[in-house]
Structure 1
Amino acid sequence: MSPQANPPRVLVVNGPNLDLLGRREPEVYGTDTLDVLVDRCRRVAGELGLEVDARQSNHEGVLIDAVHEAMTGHGGVIINPGGYTHTSVALRDALAALPVPVVEIHLSNVHAREAFRSHSYVSPVATAVIAGAGVTGYDLALRFLAERIVRRT
């Protein structure tokens, strides 16, 4: 995409415990911190002609409010719902209401871990799901959304 005066915005939402990236189970989640991950997303987004609006919270309602904000002014959403993947119908319902593509992302391969992690309330309403690619998964999600946003405009 060529540079634009007002590039399309992508909301990148990270859920509970993702503020502990780099410190929490680095053998599972890697050694990059959340700040490094967000900087990487912003760099890749810039290369694709997008802008990133990044949010992280350990609180379900704050995440839902962020998703509601994406109903206008955002071309797509990338969400790593963390543990809410397996528990939050409310977050799922907020994502289902969005008129833009949603990419569910997980740093680890949730299907190769504990059995409860294989069920996602988010996957059925996501446009795409990326799991197990580490921080590179966010790059893939941004590239996917850039293509979808270009096709829509």
Structure 2
Amino acid sequence: MHIGVLNGPNLNRLGRRRPERYGTRTLAEVVADLEEASARLGVRLSHYQSNHEGALLDWLHERQDDLDALIVNPAGLTPFGRPFCDALSETGLPVVIVHITQLYRHYGMDAQDLFRETATAYIAGLGWRGYIVALEHLHHEATK
């Protein structure tokens, strides 16, 4: 099994950007934790982070035929990243959307998330552990 892990804008600043909201773990630490969990499960991961929607689209378009599933944190693209959302949907792959925090806690009940309907599974508010839950879920679904 090969899973793509895509992280959107500002996630390169994890651990430094609003640690009271997003925690103190860096993206590199989250990636290391995911790699450790994926080795235990026998899953291969490919990681990519960009602050630019077009770069995320390019990465996805170039690799989607080699992937079995996706874990995506759209981050700053969440309310308006329609091209990225459409590209995810068009892959036909299982997509787990991960948000480190609860969007509605920070932005109110009218918070917009274009990606929620694209998601095979949706994880929010578990901090960095949401990525591990997403990985375990995809592995479980593929092996049941």
Q: Is 1:57 aligned with 2:50?
A: yes
Q: Is 1:148 aligned with 2:141?
A: yes
The aligned counterpart of 1:5 is none
The aligned runs of 1:95-134 (5 Å cut-off) are: 95-115=88-108, 118-134=111-127
* Offset, 1:111: 1.7
Q: Is 1:12 aligned with 2:5?
A: yes
Q: Count residues in correspondence.
A: 144
Query: How far apart in 2 are the matches of 1:117 and 1:131?
Result: 16
CA RMSD of aligned residues (A): 1.4
The one-character-per-residue Cα deviations of 1:82-140 (angstroms, maximum 9, x if unpaired) are 11011111011001111210000010111211138721111111101100000110010
Native 8 Å contact 1:107 1:137 kept in 2: yes
Query: How far apart in 2 are the matches of 1:146 and 1:133?
Result: 19
The aligned counterpart of 1:87 is 80
Consecutive unaligned residues of structure 2, counting only runs of 5 or more, are none
Percentage of matched positions with identical amino acids: 38
Provide TM-score, normalisation by structure 1: 0.89
Query: How far apart in 1 are the matches of 2:83 and 2:131?
Result: 24
Q: For structure 1, which segment, 44-53 or 66-75, has the greater mean C-alpha deviation from structure 2 after superposition?
A: 66-75
Native 8 Å contact 1:71 1:99 kept in 2: no
AA partner of residue 44 (structure 1): A
Task: Provide runs of 4+ in structure 1 moved above 6 Å.
Answer: none
1:118 match: secondary structure = coil
Query: How far apart in 1 are the matches of 2:34 and 2:107?
Result: 28
